[in-house]
Structure 1
Amino acid sequence: MEMSGRTALVTGATAGIGRAVAVLPAREGAEVVVHGRDAERGAAVVGEIQDAGGTARFVQADLVDPEDVRHPADAVGDADVLVNNAGIYEFRPTGGMSVDLFDLHMDLNTKAPYLLVRAPAPGMVERGRGSVVNISTLAVAVTTAGTGMYAASKAALEQLTRVWAAEYAEGGVRVNAVAPGPIRTPGTDAMDPATVRAIADTTAMRRIAEPEEVAEAVVFLASDRASYVTGALLEVAGGRRAIGG
């Protein structure tokens, strides 16, 4: 129960990595504010946490709208932990991007975390403690066709992670990022097994990750176990294969 008495806001917490991240701090005693756009899915995550003896509540907001971004921050009040997980990804070549789609990636993957960090950070500094974990992607480090706008928005988030770590360290606030590789999702479950196997074979471990494996890394960085870790980027990607391997 190492997170007992703390409040954690997890964005995009109604499915996938976000759902897994929301469940773990609750098991460690934190009150979890589950953010999402779908109230029904949000209620399901809150119910799962409560059925396991944890404390959680749901807040609905569209993080593309700067005004709506204020709702999760207002709902959580004095947050001790913020996990910026909500995001969008569409893989298209540069010629296939639209200006609106590019803006959507930047608004949700970069601007929303910026606004969300800016809201609770002063309170964290005043209390002398706090932790922010941003969810990035391996696509920033590994050049992949069609990921330009997605990778660019997450590269900006990684740079903000380093800047925030430097800005807030003296106030007792740590800021880190996690970069997942291929993850099991409803989308991968619907894929042809051969396609999933091909994706898995791009990793040294030759498999894709479960959302819970990424969540463990996120919660570690958010907890006091990582008390001397800030400005770090932790890849949770199954390792990289050697050239010719």
Structure 2
Amino acid sequence: MTEFPSIPAMFELSGRTVVVVGSASGLGQASALGIADAGARVVCADLDEEGAQQTVDLITERGGTAEATAVDVTSTESVAAVVAAHAEADALVMTPGLNVRKRLLTTTDEEFDRVIDINLKGTYRLMRGFGTRMAERGRGSIVTFASFRALVVEPGQGLYAAAKAGVVQLTKTLASELGPSGVRVNSILPGPFETPLTEQIKSDEEWWNAYANKAALARWGQLPEIAGPVLFLVSDASSFVTGHSLLVDGGWMAQDGRFTPRV
């Protein structure tokens, strides 16, 4: 019979290095804090290096180990430099995102290029760089951040939804290609979380409440609630999980939500 490891040990990350891109705020910061709490040394990477350092300070205050570094996911050279500096990384988590909330016919080529470059091509650059190093070592875990908008849309979300759907397909492809090398690649699809990206919705009470009421849990997600799913996919607890799209959406996709019948 195969020896059964302890469950806490499966989530333990001591001795491992995890690069978290987008860690200056929001879901990236929450992910970095959770990963550090599990024992990993966290490389907090962000275009906002000052914000990344603030996350490092929070981790240090909690007894963890971390360092900050600057990265521009729209620059192949910048991504390559971070990969070279942290080629030993055991896991990669990438959360950067940009949304332009406009109806599709009013968007511009420049807006399209910007949304795709950050959400999709930025993810591609990071996957390619770190994936190459992990495949050479025969181990590693890559966690991309897509969105429930990769599956369902609303007016004004076209560019973002298209980019995030692309992230899901890139994730599945890399999982297929790197599986034989022992590298796992999975995607998290957050639902409505209160982050800097959703400030526009928060400023409109009707819009904000409509989002809360659509989810089965009837509320918005709080930042610490992303840490558990991220830790699961980074750690050995998910050692037989790859190519998966994990919804963290408060039950948004589980129900219709437009009407509650009297039954």
Match of 1:88 among 95, 98, 121: 98
1:10 match = 20
**Which 4+ stretches in 1 moved above 3 angstroms?**
192-195
Is 1:244 matched up with 2:259?
yes
Question: CA shift at 1:174, angstroms?
Answer: 0.5
Equivalenced residue count is: 245
Query: What are the equivalent positions in structure 2 for 1:136-155 lying under 5 Å apart?
Result: 136-155=146-165
Three-state SS of the structure 2 residue aligned to 1:225 is helix
2:137 match = 127
Q: Tell me the amino acid that sits aligned with residue 37 of structure 1.
A: L
Find the aligned partners of 1:58 and 1:163 in 2 and give their Cα distance: 30
Q: Are the equivalent residues in 1 in contact too, given 2:139–2:182 (CA < 8 A)?
A: yes
1:60 match = 70
Is 1:217 matched up with 2:229?
yes
The structure having more radius of gyration, on CA atoms, is: 2
The superposition leaves residues 81-102 of structure 1 with CA deviations (integer Å, 9 ceiling, x where unpaired) of: 1112112111111122111111
Three-state SS of the structure 2 residue aligned to 1:104 is helix
Three-state SS of the structure 1 residue aligned to 2:171 is helix
Find the aligned partners of 1:44 and 1:4 in 2 and give their Cα distance: 22
Aligned CA-pair RMSD: 1.7
Question: CA shift at 1:75, angstroms?
Answer: 2.6
- Normalised to the residue count of structure 2, the TM-score between the two structures is 0.88
Farther-moved stretch of structure 1 (18-27 vs 62-71): 62-71
Find the aligned partners of 2:259 and 2:50 in 1 and give their Cα distance: 47
Match of 2:79 among 66, 69, 76: 69
The superposition leaves residues 118-167 of structure 1 with CA deviations (integer Å, 9 ceiling, x where unpaired) of: 11223322332100011001111112111111111111110011101110
Gaps of 5+ in 1: none
Q: Tell me the amino acid that sits aligned with residue 259 of structure 2.
A: G
Change (3 A) 1:133 1:41: same
Change (3 A) 1:189 1:110: closer
Is 1:169 matched up with 2:199?
no
Find the aligned partners of 1:105 and 1:71 in 2 and give their Cα distance: 23
Gaps of 5+ in 2: 1-10
Q: Are the equivalent residues in 2 in contact too, given 1:136–1:178 (CA < 8 A)?
A: yes
Find the aligned partners of 2:211 and 2:200 in 1 and give their Cα distance: 10
Match of 2:116 among 106, 115, 135: 106
1:30 match = 40
Q: Are the equivalent residues in 2 in contact too, given 1:188–1:196 (CA < 8 A)?
A: no
Find the aligned partners of 2:169 and 2:201 in 1 and give their Cα distance: 32
Three-state SS of the structure 1 residue aligned to 2:76 is coil
